[in-house]
Amino acid sequence: MGVMIDGRYQVEEPAPRTDAAGRYQRARSTLRHWITTGGGPGPTGDGGFVAESGRYHLFVSWSCPWAHRALLARVVLGLEDAITVSFAEPRRDEQGWIYSKSGEFSDPLLGIRALHQVYSRGAAAYTGRVTVPVLWDKKTETIVNNESADIVRMLCQAFAAPGGPDLYPAAHRDEIDGWNERIYANVNNGVYRAGFARTQEAYDEAVAQVFENLEAIDAHLAARDWLAGETFTEADLRLFPTLARFDVAYHYAFKCNLKRLTDFPNLWPYARRIYHMPGIAGTVRFDICKRGYFSKSELRNPLGIVPAGPVVDWPPV
């Protein structure tokens, strides 16, 4: 793996992402333009990106929970025909996320062999990590945005069909924002803070936060179907990728093992309810998620051996 420096890919291990106490620190995404209905600028970045069917493309990986958010928004909003996708290979090498020449892990749009080529082509002076998801504009050959939270929000707002699902309903925005913040810090990124911790203290702190929050969410779901309001919203969408990876990956690979997802009386049926919504199961590749999290890592899995279990069964509720 490497990093981009001034628009050029360097094959070198990026600087450690931990603070002095061994706590994992996630880098901020910096490519932040927005697609809008009229092409005006969004909350950050430049304007010029009008919501048009067929104009945009997503670069994702099946294993990445952040990329999963974008795939979920695409299917829930019915944008499969409007937004095309390239799926990276399950394994990464020193080129980072890579694509094969043909088949399901190739890139039919640009024919690239590594994601860093998208960054050098569409973000000329970019310095930073080469991450998925990337939202690409075919018309201007530019990266619109590489932050999954923005991508979900802009798809909801710019592509929402009249009468279609509203993932960010006006009546529940404060509640959704509150859940998003809490779930990002303690659950979505919490599992990474546990798995990437470099000291016992950093791990203890992170794993406690993960389970305190999962318990609280489980209790909240005892009396209701969704996190905010009466419908599936962005908050549910953003929790789901972590739940989908919990037992196959985080429980063992990231040592988040006080409980399994299947041990929670309300979270487990909630996760299965989402999984069985139209199109969602097609966004989950448990096998590839597991391979991704158990890929070779000097710190976490030096031999790269992928465990056989657990067997995954997500029956309808």
Binding site for ligand GSH (CB under 6 A): 1, 29, 64, 66, 96, 129-133, 146-148
Q: Smallest gap, in angstroms, from Cβ of residue 145 to ligand GSH?
A: 9
Q: Smallest gap, in angstroms, from Cβ of residue 26 to ligand GSH?
A: 7
- Across the beta sheet with 3-5, the strand order is 8-10, 3-5, 128-129
Distance CA 129, CA 278 (A): 33
> Do residues 211 and 260 make contact, with C-beta atoms less than 8 angstroms apart?
no
Q: Smallest gap, in angstroms, from Cβ of residue 151 to ligand GSH?
A: 7
- Catalytic residue (choose from 9, 99, 192, 275): 192
Instruction: Output phi, psi for 276, to 5 deg.
Output: -95, 5
Question: Residue 302 corresponds to which tokens in the numbers above?
Answer: 């030096």
Q: Choose between 59 and 264: whose C-beta lies nearer to ligand GSH.
A: 59
Q: Choose between 133 and 190: whose C-beta lies nearer to ligand GSH.
A: 133
Distance CA 141, CA 158 (A): 20
- Catalytic residue (choose from 64, 156, 256, 289): 64
Q: Choose between 67 and 280: whose C-beta lies nearer to ligand GSH.
A: 67
Burial zone of 135 (CB within 10 Å; 0-12 exposed, 13-18 middle, 19+ buried): buried
Active site (annotated) includes residue 156: no
Q: Choose between 64 and 114: whose C-beta lies nearer to ligand GSH.
A: 64
Q: Which DSSP state fits 165? A: -
Q: Choose between 55 and 245: whose C-beta lies nearer to ligand GSH.
A: 245
Distance CA 211, CA 6 (A): 40
Q: Smallest gap, in angstroms, from Cβ of residue 183 to ligand GSH?
A: 13
154 CB-near residues (< 8 Å, 6+ apart): 34, 35, 36, 42, 145
Question: Residue 62 corresponds to which tokens in the numbers above?
Answer: 């099946």
At residue 87's C-alpha, the angle toward residues 260 and 280, to 5°, is 50
Q: Smallest gap, in angstroms, from Cβ of residue 162 to ligand GSH?
A: 28
Q: Choose between 130 and 228: whose C-beta lies nearer to ligand GSH.
A: 130
Distance CA 99, CA 102 (A): 8
Distance CA 241, CA 148 (A): 12
Active site (annotated) includes residue 256: no
Q: Smallest gap, in angstroms, from Cβ of residue 165 to ligand GSH?
A: 22
What residues act catalytically? 64, 192
